[in-house]
């Protein structure tokens, strides 16, 4: 039965519970507790209210909800005892068509999982885009999550239950997240072009990078935009206002990736606004300002170890000396640009006049677990963390592992180990402050030789520069003390220093209002990752909208995921933001 939200809001409490029967398996207490919050302004508000009931329930109630769900391809499915909703969902994933080997694998995984956790494995088999996981994907997810800790798996099961309920509500109200599905499908299309055959890797100006750019330009034109590829490879789409003298509101993100990366990092922030513009264009709707979507050519720094090449060209701060940098094959950036048909003389012309720009708003997958843990589909970014990156080189004395007494060693690796622990201790429990040693090497090391040399990276980030700089100073001083005590020479090289970029309050306020109108409780959070908005902040006021990241918040990884419904909410927030946009108040 299909109904409207207006009809649901008019029902009495008992009828309300009956109408939502089957949304949560054998758990009428969930709609019972949400009924008092009516009327719901929209479907998203209803979804959020129901999931809040689950989040606020006792652990015993949550475990009861989890245990109310059937095993995948289990005994209840074989006996035909599943609910109508579960029957359809398992059939959507083809679980009723398991071959003997797949059925045996699932049966064993079910048994092992139940023995370890005490409840059944739950996954939304319709998947993040609603089109359904394959049986192989389900089995792989099953095996991966079996390695989790029990508390983490309880939380993940509840999230999956929320996703199942979300899609069941879509069916009940005959709702399709059209914009979100479009973005998800386009992300799949772009993932087809990669520098590697078995992973998504798209480095600056490679063949796959140029094909990706061409496809983005095609999508922009189809959406009703004027599009071109500029002299550094940025793909620029403009949706023009009827007022030729209007200023431009900029949005976008990057389309290059890390090696073996995810499908949504950067690319969501390009494809989602294109989908929004396509929606406006289909309605014949223009805005009192130009919308400019920029697919920045380079942000990750993979090929030439230089980040924000695309966005710094737009701000007019592109460092022309970088053209002499070489990649791993000895190809200069200048040569790569020329091979791609770009002229370095045209780079200066990319810079925008700040007076013609209203601001910059970037949509991005969170790349972390904060929104996931709070059951929120979107969040408003307060600031983008500034970072300092160093390369530390430690030199001791290499000597025989068997003949050198422990108290006479000048071991570079043990000094490095102390420094790693120092970073962890100094950055713990300090708000937005985080510290990472992501690279640790013993060049030319041997199993029977005391390490005489060690190299390690240092990455310190915080939402404000003062907090970060204080941590950097303490860590470098501590490292110097460790090395002096151990008789180790220490050299440090500053690789990157990027200032934190606070988001503009007047833009954040408008994103907050649009988020509330979408039916989501507004939530503000800092970004620990760097984004093109950091570079754009040199030229104009910036803001960011985060979309929830699944799989525990994993990013820069093939497991990076978001859902069509969350992408839909982000798109609706951006669309509302554009329609209600107000220019910066005069000082």
pLDDT at 107: 87
CA dist., res. 354 & res. 75, Å (int): 65
| Predicted confidence (pLDDT) at residue 88 exceeds the cutoff of 70 | no
Tokens of 70: 């059937």
Q: Where are the beta strands (DSSP E) in 205-268?
A: 226-229, 235-239, 248-254
DSSP label at residue 428: T
How high does pLDDT run on average in the chain? Answer: 94
| Predicted confidence (pLDDT) at residue 582 exceeds the cutoff of 60 | yes
* Annotation: CATH topology of 5-172: UraD-like (1.10.3330)
CA dist., res. 457 & res. 349, Å (int): 36
**CA-CA-CA-CA torsion sign (129, 133, 138, 140):** negative
| Neighbour-count burial of 435, counting CB atoms closer than 10 A to its CB (0-12 exposed, 13-18 middle, 19+ buried) | buried
| pLDDT tens-digit map of 456-480 | 999 999 988 999 999 999 999 999 9
| Predicted confidence (pLDDT) at residue 425 exceeds the cutoff of 80 | yes
> Nearest CA to 161 among 34, 27, 41?
27
* Annotation: CATH topology of 386-498: Alpha-Beta Plaits (3.30.70)
DSSP label at residue 39: P
Ranges for all domains in the chain classified under CATH 3.30.70.360: 386-498
| Predicted confidence (pLDDT) at residue 189 exceeds the cutoff of 80 | yes
Q: Where are the beta strands (DSSP E) in 322-427?
A: 357-365, 378-384, 386-395, 399-400
DSSP label at residue 147: T
pLDDT at 147: 94
DSSP label at residue 326: B
**Phi, psi for residue 387 in degrees, rounded to 5:** -130, 150
Contact 507, 582 (CB under 8 A): no
Ranges for all domains in the chain classified under CATH 3.40.630.10: 179-383+501-579
Q: CA–CA distance from 267 to each of 130, 136, 206, 295, 446 (Å)?
A: 20, 26, 17, 8, 43
DSSP label at residue 461: E
Task: Provide the 3-class DSSP secondary structure of residue 496.
Answer: strand
Percentage of the chain exceeding pLDDT 90: 87
Average pLDDT over residues 488-509: 94
pLDDT at 496: 82
pLDDT at 91: 60
Task: Provide the 3-class DSSP secondary structure of residue 41.
Answer: coil
Alpha helix positions (H), 118-259: 135-145, 150-172, 178-190, 207-222
pLDDT at 85: 65
pLDDT at 96: 67
Q: pTM for the full model? A: 0.90
Contact 546, 397 (CB under 8 A): no
Task: Provide the 3-class DSSP secondary structure of residue 491.
Answer: strand
Task: Provide the 3-class DSSP secondary structure of residue 434.
Answer: strand
CA dist., res. 407 & res. 412, Å (int): 14
| Predicted confidence (pLDDT) at residue 135 exceeds the cutoff of 90 | no
CATH code, 179-383+501-579:
3.40.630.10
Spatial CB neighbours of 23, under 8 Å, sequence gap ≥ 6: 30, 31, 50, 85, 165, 168, 169, 172
pLDDT at 94: 67
**b/e burial code for range 350-373 (CB count within 10 A of at least 16 → b):** bebeeeebbbbbbbbbbbbbbbbe
| Predicted confidence (pLDDT) at residue 566 exceeds the cutoff of 60 | yes
Angle at 254 between CA 249 and CA 257, to 5 degrees: 170
Q: CA–CA distance from 478 to each of 80, 395, 460, 482 (Å)?
A: 65, 16, 14, 6
pLDDT at 80: 57
| Predicted confidence (pLDDT) at residue 93 exceeds the cutoff of 80 | no
CA dist., res. 233 & res. 126, Å (int): 37
pLDDT at 586: 85
528 — pLDDT class (breaks 50, 70, 90): confident
Ranges for all domains in the chain classified under CATH 1.10.3330.10: 5-172
| Predicted confidence (pLDDT) at residue 544 exceeds the cutoff of 60 | yes
């Amino acid at each position: 039965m299909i109904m409207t939200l207006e009809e649901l809001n008019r029902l009495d409490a008992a009828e309300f519970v009956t109408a939502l029967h089957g949304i949560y398996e054998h758990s009428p207490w969930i709609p019972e507790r949400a009924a008092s919050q009516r009327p719901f302004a929209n479907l998203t508000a209803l979804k959020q209210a129901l999931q809040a009931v689950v989040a606020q329930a006792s652990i015993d109630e949550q475990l009861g909800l989890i245990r109310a769900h059937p095993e995948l391809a289990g005994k209840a499915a074989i006996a035909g005892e599943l609910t109508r909703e579960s029957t359809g969902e398992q059939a959507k994933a083809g679980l009723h068509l398991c071959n003997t080997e797949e059925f045996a694998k699932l049966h064993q995984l079910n048994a092992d999982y139940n023995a370890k956790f005490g409840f059944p494995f739950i996954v939304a088999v319709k998947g993040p885009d609603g089109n359904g996981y394959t049986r192989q994907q389900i089995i792989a997810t099953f095996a991966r999550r079996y390695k989790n800790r029990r508390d983490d798996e309880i939380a993940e099961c509840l999230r999956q239950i929320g996703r199942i309920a979300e899609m069941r509500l879509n069916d009940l109200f005959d709702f399709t997240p059209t914009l979100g599905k479009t973005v998800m499908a386009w992300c799949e299309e772009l993932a087809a072009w990669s520098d590697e055959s078995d992973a998504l890797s798209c480095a600056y100006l490679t063949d796959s990078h140029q094909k990706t750019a061409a496809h983005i330009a095609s999508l922009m034109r189809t959406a009703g935009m004027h599009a071109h590829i500029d002299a550094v490879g940025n793909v620029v789409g403009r949706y023009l206002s009827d007022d030729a003298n209007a200023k431009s509101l900029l949005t976008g993100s990057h389309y290059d990736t890390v090696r073996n990366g995810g499908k949504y990092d950067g690319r969501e922030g390009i494809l989602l606004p294109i989908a929004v513009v396509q929606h406006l264009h289909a309605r014949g709707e223009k805005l009192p300002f130009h919308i400019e979507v920029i697919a920045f050519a380079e942000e990750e720094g993979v090929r030439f170890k230089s980040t924000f090449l695309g966005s710094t060209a737009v701000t007019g701060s592109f460092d022309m000396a970088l053209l002499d940098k070489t990649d791993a094959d000895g190809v200069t950036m200048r040569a790569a640009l020329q091979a791609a048909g770009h002229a370095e003389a045209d780079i200066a012309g990319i810079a925008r006049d700040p007076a013609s720009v209203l601001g910059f708003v970037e949509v991005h997958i969170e790349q972390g677990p904060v929104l996931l843990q709070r059951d929120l589909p979107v969040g408003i970014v307060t600031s983008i963390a500034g970072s300092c990156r160093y390369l530390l080189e430690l030199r001791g004395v290499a000597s025989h592992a068997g003949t050198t007494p422990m108290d006479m060693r000048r071991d570079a690796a043990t000094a490095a180990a102390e420094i790693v622990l120092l970073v962890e201790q100094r950055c713990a429990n300090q708000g937005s402050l985080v510290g990472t040693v992501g690279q640790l090497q013993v060049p030319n090391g041997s199993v029977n030789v005391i390490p005489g040399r060690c190299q390690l990276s240092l990455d310190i980030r915080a939402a404000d520069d003062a907090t970060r700089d204080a941590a950097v100073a303490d860590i470098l001083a501590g490292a110097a003390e460790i090395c002096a005590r151990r008789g180790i020479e220490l050299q440090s090289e500053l690789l990157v220093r990027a200032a934190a970029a606070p988001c503009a309050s007047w833009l954040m306020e408008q994103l907050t209002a649009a988020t509330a109108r979408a039916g989501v409780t507004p939530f503000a959070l800092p970004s620990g990752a760097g984004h093109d908005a950091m570079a754009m902040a040199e030229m104009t006021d910036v803001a960011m909208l985060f979309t929830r990241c699944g799989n525990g918040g994993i990013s820069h990884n093939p497991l990076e995921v978001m859902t069509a419904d969350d992408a839909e909410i982000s798109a609706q927030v951006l669309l509302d933001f554009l329609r209600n946009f107000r220019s910066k108040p005069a000082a």
